[in-house]
Structure 1
Amino acid sequence: MLFENNLTGSIPSSLGNLKSLMNLELQKNALSGAIPASLGNIKTLQFLRLNGNMLTGKLPQEILSLVAVGNLSEL
C-alpha cells in the first residue's frame, strides 16, 4: 500500500506487469497524468484506489472491463 506518501509523477505503466497483484492503493498522493491502460492487464486486481490525486483523463476501457467482470470492487 502506497497511500498517503506524497508520491509524485505519473503511475508507471509497468505496474500492469504485476500479474498477481490484488490491491493497488495509491490514494491521497500527488500523482498526475493519465491512468495507464496497462493496469487492466492485472486480472487478479480486486481493489484499485486512486482517489485524492491529480489524475487526468478518463478511466481506461481496460480497467472498466475488470469492473464489468466483477474483478474490481473499488475505484
Structure 2
Amino acid sequence: MTLKSLVIEVNEVEGPLPPELGNLRSLERLDMQGTSMTGPIPSNISFLVNLTELRISDLNGSSMPFPALGDMTKMQKL
C-alpha cells in the first residue's frame, strides 16, 4: 500500500516541515494548511514528481526561497 494523499489542516501540529516529505514519492496530493509549522519548505519536495496538488500555507518563519518545481510535470494545483 502506498500513501497517495497527505492532508494536515487546521490543527496544532507545530515544528519544522520534515525533510522526510521528499521520501513520499507516491504522493499525489499534499495539503498542509492552518498549522503552526515552520519553514523552510524542504528542497527535496521537488522529488514528489507524482504530485498533482500542492497546498502549503500559514508557515511561520522568515522569508524563504521556494523550491524548484520544474520536474513536477503532473502538477495541476499549486
Question: TM-score range with shorter-chain normalisation?
Answer: 0.7 to 0.9
> TM-score, normalization: structure 2?
0.77
Shift, 1:13, TM fit: 0.9
- Contact kept? 1:7, 1:30, Cα under 8 Å: yes
Distance (whole Å) between structure 2 residues aligned to residue 54 and residue 31 of structure 1: 6
Q: How does 1:1-75 map to 2 (within 5 A)?
A: 1-54=7-60, 56-61=63-68, 63=69, 65-66=70-71, 69=73, 71-75=74-78
Runs of 4+ displaced beyond 3 Å? none
- Decide which structure has the larger Cα Rg and report it: 2
CA distance in 2, matches of 1:47, 1:66: 14
Give the deviation of 1:33 after TM superposition.
Answer: 2.1
SS at match of 1:15: helix
| Structure with a larger share of its residues in strand | 2
8 Å Cα contact 1:24-1:48 kept in structure 2: yes
Unmatched runs of 5 consecutive residues or more in structure 1:
none
Number of equivalent positions: 71
User: Which structure shows the higher helix fraction?
Assistant: 1
Q: CA RMSD in A?
A: 1.6
Q: TM-score, normalised by structure 1?
A: 0.80
Q: Which runs of 5+ in 2 are unaligned?
A: 1-6
Q: Percent of pairs identical after alignment?
A: 27
